[in-house]
Amino acid sequence: MNNIKKGKGFGVLIWRITLTCCLILVLPGAFASAQEAKIRIGAAVSMTGTLAKEGSLLKKGYETWAEWVNQRGGVNVGGTPNKVEVIYYDDKGDATTSAKLTEKLITEDKVNLILSPYSSGIVAATSSIAEKYGYVTLAPMANGDFLYERGFKYLFSVIAMASQVHIPIVELAVKQTPKPKTFAMAVLDNAYTLTVAEGLRKRSQELGLQEVYYGKFPFNMSDFSGILTTIKSKEPDLLFFGGFFPHATSFYRQAKELNVNSKLYTTTGTSNLPDWVSTMGKDGDYVLAEEHWSPEMRYKGSFLTTESFVDYWVRKHGEQQLNQWGSSGFVSGILIQLAIGKAGSLDQTKIKDALRTMEVETFWGKFKFDEKGKNIAARCGVTQIQNGKKVLVDPPRPGVKLIYPPPSWKER
Amino acid sequence: MLGQFIANGLLQGGFYACIGVSFSIIFGIMRIINLAQGTQIILGAYVTYTVSQALRIDPFFTLPVSVIALFILGYLVQKYIINLVAKGGLVITSLITFGLNLILINIALLIWRADFKGTNPWYMGMSFQAIGVTIPYVRLLIFVIAVLFTISLELFFRKTATGNSIRATALNPKAAQLMGIDIGKTYCLTFAIGSALAGAMGTLFILAMPISPFTGGDFLIILFSVAILGGLGSIRGALFAGIVLGMIESFSVMFMGIEYQKIMLNLFYLLILIFLPMGLMGKRFYG
């Protein structure tokens, strides 16, 4: 009997020790969690793959905003500061993968908010998932017009619509001497690039320019000799090219090989990438692109002006890393901050309504969203690569000139 | 303009001929559809990229390295994987090479990631004019080397004892075995030669175009087209077929537009399968 009692007493002792150890391990964490409220944000971005260059720059923007806002105590939710934690997954530049990862972020990781991937093609897939679950998607770099014609309530574009982005380029070109008369267009068969091309094509024709060539090429194309030979025979005044980084570098390298000259060359944002100059060298000069944002622009905001943002970013990453992708990621965070502040909660419907009724200026530019989620206050600038540097040539600034026409390939 | 399109087609066709030859000899001699051929080309390109970056040399000079590396890889793959199932028939060996293709792509993804990689030799973008036609130096180099490789291979098969062994094995493996030829070793050598050629073409390819681990898949239709069009195992046939395909690509852009390029290629391939299943040269590999 005594042995049984001793055994029982020993068992109770072990149970008490175990319970105490568990409490010691668990309680501090729970206490800390209760003390430090957190907003969990999910982002499926392209860290590898065809869109890796752009996707990685966008991710840097998100990371920098998260760090910046946490340094200032976090995002104000109904009077309580909340630190931000961002969870990243690599979608490898694939829409299906990105959609699956977005669903994972919502259903398994249970994030409070979603930051969108890069590119209209991918956001088309991920926004469908987010819309299904009633999650707000702020798309910093996904402006295919078709995205915002689907009747979605929770999708918002940070930048001007794709059909509008190259219009400032052709409007600038027709003011030059000698006045251009013809244009040729080679476009990647992709949602975004086709939309840009259609808007540009329509506006070019409205301005009296004659189209001498239009060709759509598939995603896996790397040999542009056929297209370039045809374009060369047409001698266009303006050469418009739409594609991503590998396409643009192959196209212009082969344009040099085949000595295809024009008075103006464009890319769909590719020549704005930091790697453009390092990859192409002087062969990358004189190319124009749309610029959603540039450090030379001047905007004010409640948190940062353009100058103070540039100062912060350059101190952190260096001037070479200052670009529209990273800054668009950063301003997406700012917009979320403003929307949550206005909504006073993390409720998706309240955040959506706050964005819909917002009219605000930030370091990045002006924002006003229509009922389709388009930012109708946005207008693109134009940059040109001059001597290996990206120069903002529109809006016009004193002492800055568009180089038109550029020297021929043989003269460079 | 016509002259330029002809030049474009010829230059591209030379490259197609050589990559097609490597696929064709494996298909024709060993009855193996090597679905990993495209990725082997890309591996050769990655070897070039890595070695030229590490040693800071012109990527063209890494050609022997990629040839040797892929030769060894091909030999080992045949010896320790494909030879084990060679008697299993076309379906089994195709599945094996399909699986091998996936493994190689994922190895490339692990080592070099999915980002595009390219080289930037000093002669990139340079060209010269001849009879009104612009010829890029890089494209001409690729064409010349590809044709040289193809001709060398033809001479190897015709004039050397090893080449004769391989041809004999293709004709009749049992008879070849009775004559004292080691079939297993012969198959290893054949696959290794095909891989080495793929590696060499990878080196040439990355001189002109950027690559990613998935770029190899784009070659598959060309490989099949050249092999079937030229006659299985026929090197002369592959050379002819490659140039024909290059010209079809070029002329379809000239007359119909870029959107029709792949359609015309695939249509041509289909027509050959229907009306000339033995290829343009009329017969498959023979001794």
Cβ–Cβ of A229/B139 closer than 8 Å? no
Residue in B125, B253, B262 closest to A230 by CB: B253
Is B258 an 8 Å CB contact of chain A?
Answer: yes
Q: For residue A236, what are the CA distances in angstroms to A257, A389, B186?
A: 17, 26, 57
Gap between the Cα atoms of A222 and A297, Å rounded: 35
Residue in B4, B215, B257 closest to A229 by CB: B4
Residue A120 lies in a domain: yes
For residue A112, the model assigns a pLDDT of 92
| pLDDT higher than threshold 90 for residue A1 | no
Cβ–Cβ of A226/B262 closer than 8 Å? no
Cβ-proximal residues to A7 (8 Å cutoff; 6+ apart), any chain? none
Task: Note the pTM of the prediction, 2 decimals.
Answer: 0.76
| pLDDT higher than threshold 50 for residue A4 | no
For residue A343, the model assigns a pLDDT of 94
pLDDT digits (tens, 9 = 90+) for A100-118: 999 999 999 999 999 999 9
Residue B195 lies in a domain: yes
Dihedral angle over CA of B39, B45, B49, B54, nearest 10: 90
* A313 in the same domain as A287: no
> Contacts of residue B8 in chain A, CB cutoff 8 Å?
225-226, 229
Task: Give the residue from B239, B232, B240, B225 showing the smallest Cα distance to B271.
Answer: B225
Residue A156 lies in a domain: yes
Confidence of residue A34 (pLDDT cuts 50, 70, 90): very low
Cβ–Cβ of B114/A258 closer than 8 Å? no
Gap between the Cα atoms of A328 and A369, Å rounded: 16
Residue B286 lies in a domain: no
Residue in A52, A222, A259 closest to B114 by CB: A52
Cβ–Cβ of B127/A259 closer than 8 Å? yes
- CB-count burial class (<10 Å; 0-12, 13-18, 19+) for B113: middle
For residue B281, the model assigns a pLDDT of 65
CA Rg, chain B, in Å? Answer: 19
Residue in A92, A227, A409 closest to B114 by CB: A92
Kind of pairing between the strands at A287-291 and A264-266: parallel
Helix (H, G, I), strand (E, B) or coil at A97: helix
Pair A51, A244: CB distance under 8 Å: yes
* A309 in the same domain as A255: no
* A343 in the same domain as A233: no
> Contacts of residue A223 in chain B, CB cutoff 8 Å?
12, 209
- Is the preceding peptide bond at A178 cis, omega within 30 degrees of 0? yes
Residue A410 lies in a domain: no
Residue in A220, A253, A279 closest to B125 by CB: A253
* A388 in the same domain as A307: no
Cβ-proximal residues to B142 (8 Å cutoff; 6+ apart), any chain? B11, B14, B15, B204, B205, B207, B208
Residue A179 lies in a domain: yes
Residue A409 lies in a domain: no
Q: How many folded domains does chain A comprise?
A: 2
User: Both tokens of residue A102?
Assistant: 């977005």
Q: Residue B94: which domain range?
A: 2-275
For residue B101, the model assigns a pLDDT of 95
| pLDDT higher than threshold 90 for residue A274 | no
Residue A386 lies in a domain: yes
Pair A191, A155: CB distance under 8 Å: no
- Is the preceding peptide bond at A395 cis, omega within 30 degrees of 0? yes
> Contacts of residue B249 in chain A, CB cutoff 8 Å?
226
- Reported residue count of chain A is 412
Is B126 an 8 Å CB contact of chain A?
Answer: yes
Burial profile B30-59: b = 16 or more Cβ within 10 angstroms, e = fewer: bebbbbbbbbbbbbbbbbbbbbbeeeeeeb
Is B165 an 8 Å CB contact of chain A?
Answer: no
Residue B172 lies in a domain: yes
Q: Residue A345: which domain range?
A: 38-161+297-378
- CB-count burial class (<10 Å; 0-12, 13-18, 19+) for A362: buried
Cβ–Cβ of B118/A259 closer than 8 Å? no
* A269 in the same domain as A184: yes
Pair A58, A45: CB distance under 8 Å: yes
Name the least confident of A183-192, A289-298, A350-359, B264-273. B264-273
For residue A275, the model assigns a pLDDT of 79
Pair A363, A153: CB distance under 8 Å: no
> Contacts of residue A92 in chain B, CB cutoff 8 Å?
114
Residue in A216, A226, A256 closest to B125 by CB: A256
Q: How many folded domains does chain B comprise?
A: 1
Q: Which residue has the higher pLDDT, A309 or B30?
A: A309
Most confident by average pLDDT, A1-5, A12-16, B237-241: B237-241
Name the least confident of A181-190, A195-204, B247-256. B247-256
Gap between the Cα atoms of A406 and A28, Å rounded: 66
Confidence of residue A241 (pLDDT cuts 50, 70, 90): very high
Pair A65, A332: CB distance under 8 Å: yes
Angle at A269 between CA A217 and CA B215, to 5 degrees: 45
* A100 in the same domain as A60: yes
User: Both tokens of residue A330?
Assistant: 């950063």
Residue A180 is classified by DSSP as: P
Number of A to B CB contacts under 8 A, please give it: 92
Three-state SS string across chain B, please? Answer: CHHHHHHHHHHHHHHHHHHHHHHHHHHHHHCCCCCCHHHHHHHHHHHHHHHHHHHCCCHHHHHHHHHHHHHHHHHHHHHHHHHHHHHHCHHHHHHHHHHHHHHHHHHHHHHHCCCCECCCCCCCCCEEEECCEEEEHHHHHHHHHHHHHHHHHHHHHHHCHHHHHHHHHHHCHHHHHHCCCCHHHHHHHHHHHHHHHHHHHHHHHHHHCCECCCHHHHHHHHHHHHHHHHCCCCHHHHHHHHHHHHHHHHHHHHHCCHHHHHHHHHHHHHHHHHHCCCCCCCCCCCC
| pLDDT higher than threshold 60 for residue A177 | yes
> Contacts of residue A257 in chain B, CB cutoff 8 Å?
125-127, 134, 136, 138-139
> Contacts of residue A48 in chain B, CB cutoff 8 Å?
109, 113-115
| pLDDT higher than threshold 70 for residue A30 | no
Give the residues across from A182 on adjacent strands.
A210
Is B55 an 8 Å CB contact of chain A?
Answer: no
Residue A260 lies in a domain: yes
Residue B287 lies in a domain: no
Residue in A49, A53, A216 closest to B258 by CB: A216
Task: Give the residue from A101, A93, A114, A190 showing the smallest Cα distance to A156.
Answer: A114
Is B221 an 8 Å CB contact of chain A?
Answer: no
Q: pLDDT below 50 — which residues of chain B? A: 284-287
* A234 in the same domain as A86: no
Gap between the Cα atoms of B22 and B101, Å rounded: 16
Residue B111 lies in a domain: yes
* A388 in the same domain as A251: yes
Residue B285 lies in a domain: no
| Closest residue of chain B to A48, computed from CA coordinates | B114
From B116's Cα to the closest Cα of chain A, the distance in A is: 7
| Closest residue of chain A to B117, computed from CA coordinates | A246
* A290 in the same domain as A181: yes
Cβ–Cβ of A249/B210 closer than 8 Å? yes
Cβ–Cβ of B250/A220 closer than 8 Å? no
* A124 in the same domain as A203: no
Cβ-proximal residues to A33 (8 Å cutoff; 6+ apart), any chain? none
For residue A33, the model assigns a pLDDT of 45
Q: Give the amino acid at B20.
A: G
First to last CA, chain A: 103
Question: Can you state the angle between helices B37-55 and B63-77, rounded to 10 degrees?
Answer: 140
Gap between the Cα atoms of A141 and A124, Å rounded: 12
Q: Give the amino acid at B225.
A: S
- Is the preceding peptide bond at A405 cis, omega within 30 degrees of 0? yes
For residue A8, the model assigns a pLDDT of 57
pLDDT digits (tens, 9 = 90+) for B165-194: 888 888 888 888 898 888 889 999 999 999
What whole-number percentage of chain A has pLDDT above 70? 92
* A279 in the same domain as A248: yes
* A374 in the same domain as A387: no
Cβ–Cβ of A283/B136 closer than 8 Å? no
> Contacts of residue B253 in chain A, CB cutoff 8 Å?
226-227, 229-230
Residue A75 lies in a domain: yes
Cβ–Cβ of B8/A222 closer than 8 Å? no
Residue B280 lies in a domain: no
- DSSP letter for each residue of A347-395: -HHHHHHHHHT-EEEETTEEEEB-TTS-BTT---EEEEEETTEEEEEES
Residue in B1, B114, B116 closest to A229 by CB: B1
pLDDT digits (tens, 9 = 90+) for A52-66: 888 999 999 999 999
Is B109 an 8 Å CB contact of chain A?
Answer: yes
Q: What is the ipTM of this complex?
A: 0.79
What CATH number does residue A246 fall under? 3.40.50.2300
For residue B53, the model assigns a pLDDT of 92
